[in-house]
Amino acid sequence: MKTLYATLGVFLALFAAASVAYPGFFSLRVALNLFTDNAFLGVAAIGLTFVILSGGIDLSIGAMIGCSGILCATLLEKLHWSAVPAVLAVLTFGFCIGAMHGALIAVFRLPPFLVTLAGLFVCRGIALSISREALQVSDPTFTRISEMSVRLGKLGTVTAPAAVFVFAVGIAAYVLKYSSFGRRVYALGGSENSSSLMGLTVTRTKFWIYVLSGVCSAVGGLVFLLYTASGNAVAGTGLELDAIAAVVIGGATLTGGYGSAVGTMLGVLTLGTIQTIITFDGRLSSWWTKIFVGSLFLAFVLARRIIHKEPEKSFSP
């Protein structure tokens, strides 16, 4: 809980400092835009939260987002599928990729780093084989969905991507806190051997964790398509690193067993706030976002090491 409060404090401090420095920053419109602009990252990061809580890692997230987006755009625009079958096909694709990862990791006990790295290459290759060029989406149903919103007068607008993000956070928070699956995820991250000795279904739990991550990444790709109205095979490049940073900044540890969906949401919003501050400033390159995020990431890793006196897990296979 200490790191969760620390994340909340950092987010509020950044928002408050930006509100003082830049007129117009302190508004509900800017706050709502944080949810909209970072919804695709947030949904994918929610799936990654389950993976990291279990002590695993998923490096295929960014490639899955790009592949899901270009796959859906191709089905809609080139093959003239209707929106519902196209969305179901993309979700099925995410399920299959997650199941592949889960089977190799849980059943064959291969390292998650290597398996999901291979998944990254597979998904990016599939995406580029579908189309090397961006593809605009003009399907009427998809366009209507992307334009769905709840206007709060002059205060701002709650968009469809933002609603999906908040819904995903709510469902994940409920599952982690109140379901037996959530308790097994935390137990698995705490100690896989102890979980096995207690009779928990370790293999099955680990399998479904990666399936969930694959589906969340596919949903993230669909949200990105709603946000940009365009599918792009190279979209999401490097996004898996942003997702990992958001989960860790949100209070999770790479050793597993600690973290929450709400913390991940705050981590995503913190990263989004940094990007928005740089946009408001107008004088700094967008690459400064990476510098600030990297510094913040290291600060949280160091803080957790001091507070809990536990080492972070290496990314090495």
E strands present in the chain: 135-136, 149-151, 157-159, 230-231
Mean pLDDT along residues 171-189:
96
Confidence of residue 118 (pLDDT cuts 50, 70, 90): very high
Residue 32 in tokens: 């709502």
Confidence of residue 12 (pLDDT cuts 50, 70, 90): very high
pLDDT higher than threshold 70 for residue 85? yes
Please tell me the total count of domains within the chain.
1
Residue 272 lies in a domain: yes
Mean pLDDT of the chain: 92
Confidence of residue 315 (pLDDT cuts 50, 70, 90): very low
Q: What is the pLDDT of residue 162?
A: 96
pLDDT higher than threshold 50 for residue 316? no
Residue 316 lies in a domain: no
Mean pLDDT along residues 100-126:
97
Mean pLDDT along residues 82-91:
97
DSSP 257: S
Cα-Cα-Cα-Cα dihedral sign, residues 63, 69, 72, 73 = negative
- pLDDT tens, 199-213? 889 999 999 999 999
pTM of the model: 0.94
Q: What is the pLDDT of residue 153?
A: 76
- Amino acid at the residue 263: G
CATH of the domain at 24: 1.10.3470
Q: What is the pLDDT of residue 58?
A: 98
Q: What is the pLDDT of residue 301?
A: 83
Residue 117 lies in a domain: yes
Residue 317 lies in a domain: no
Host domain of residue 11: 2-308
**Cα 266 to Cα 264: distance, rounded to the nearest angstrom:** 5
Cα angle: 259, vertex 261, 267; to 5 degrees: 80
Residue 247 in tokens: 């989960």
Q: What is the radius of gyration, based on Cα positions, of the chain?
A: 19
- pLDDT tens, 216-244? 999 999 999 999 999 999 999 999 999 99
Residue 48 lies in a domain: yes
pLDDT higher than threshold 60 for residue 317? no
Residue 315 lies in a domain: no
Q: Residue 310: count other Cβ atoms within 10 Å of its Cβ.
A: 12
Residue 314 lies in a domain: no
pLDDT higher than threshold 90 for residue 311? no
Mean pLDDT along residues 282-291:
81
Residue written as token pair 């400064």: 288
Contact in structure between 179 and 162 (CB atoms under 8 Å): no
Bridge partner residues of 158 (DSSP) = 150
Residue 257 lies in a domain: yes
